[in-house]
Amino acid sequence: MDLTSCLPPLANSMTEPDGSAVIRVLSYNIRSLRDDEEALARVIRACAPDLVFLQEAPRFFRWRKHAARLAAKTDLVVLSGGATAAGPLLLCSLRAFVERTEDVLLPRTPGLHRRGFATAVVRFGAVRVAVLSAHLSLDAQERRTQAELLLSRLASADTPYAIAAGDINEPPSGPAFRRLSGVLQDCWTVSPWGGEHTFVRSGPPRRIDAVFATPGVEVLTCGVPEGLAGVTPADLKAATDHLPVLATLRLPAP
């Protein structure tokens, strides 16, 4: 199957005649760049994203340098996040006009890893959208609380549309995932494309990474970009222990 034909053209088509914007959104847990960074960069470049929602970005020694290097290798720029958001990181193409950014640290449960959100408001043409990258807790109760905080954050953004993406750390049947998909569109469910499962290294294959969008955003495609030109099985295996999620979204004109 030629998945490339399902995606919008790569250049010069961000704003449609009616003022709406078609964008590509990629969510990817990169495991602190501990694996094959060149393979990772090739996968990201092949997906040609306008927004990249990363999880487990480097958080320690020279973390800004590592983030900037990955952005440069993928023809993107750092938008927000990293260590100041406890791991989530946002990258964007030069097609995005940045209005504001904010890194958010979430309340910490003693004994558990600190979590956070990388957030921003960007504009494509005249269309404004809030974006949020998240990596929810391994603890079920904390994960459910963080899902509520994510929804609250998007609701307070004061933008026509919002997109959240990340590693949910549970499948769609889990309570945190169900809470998010009860309010937001689970893009894979709306318009499945490519592969479904995002974690296949251990245990049964499962979908624990997702892209969500507020009502009003038109979901054109969403899924693991298996078979996309330039994305090879070898690179997907070498890049990190998760598989990426690529969504194509239309943001209607205001």
DSSP bridge pairs for 249:
23, 219
In a domain, 103, yes or no: yes
In a domain, 26, yes or no: yes
Per-residue pLDDT of the chain (254 residues; tens, 9 = 90+): 445 455 544 333 467 888 899 999 999 999 999 999 999 999 999 999 999 999 999 999 899 999 999 999 999 999 999 999 999 999 999 999 999 999 999 999 898 999 999 999 999 999 999 999 999 999 999 999 999 999 999 999 999 999 999 999 999 999 999 999 999 999 999 999 999 999 998 889 999 999 999 999 999 999 999 999 999 999 999 999 999 999 999 999 98
Per the domain annotation, does 11 fall within a domain?
Answer: no
Q: Please report whether residue 136 resides in a domain.
A: yes
- pLDDT at position 10 is 34
> How many domains are there within the chain?
1
Query: Does any domain span residue 122?
Result: yes
Q: What is the pLDDT of residue 130?
A: 98
Asked if residue 214 is part of any domain, the answer here is yes
Q: Which of 248, 245, 241, 247 is nearest to 39 (CA)?
A: 241
- Domain presence at residue 139: yes
Instruction: Output the pLDDT for position 153.
Output: 98
Give the pLDDT confidence score for residue 13 in this predicted structure.
Answer: 40
Residue 28's H or E segment, with its range, is strand 21-29
CATH code of 138's domain:
3.60.10.10
Written as one letter, the residue type at 77 is V
Q: Quote the tokens at residue 24.
A: 């590509």
Neighbours of 184 (CB within 10 A): 21
In a domain, 6, yes or no: no
* Domain assignment of residue 158, given as a range: 20-251
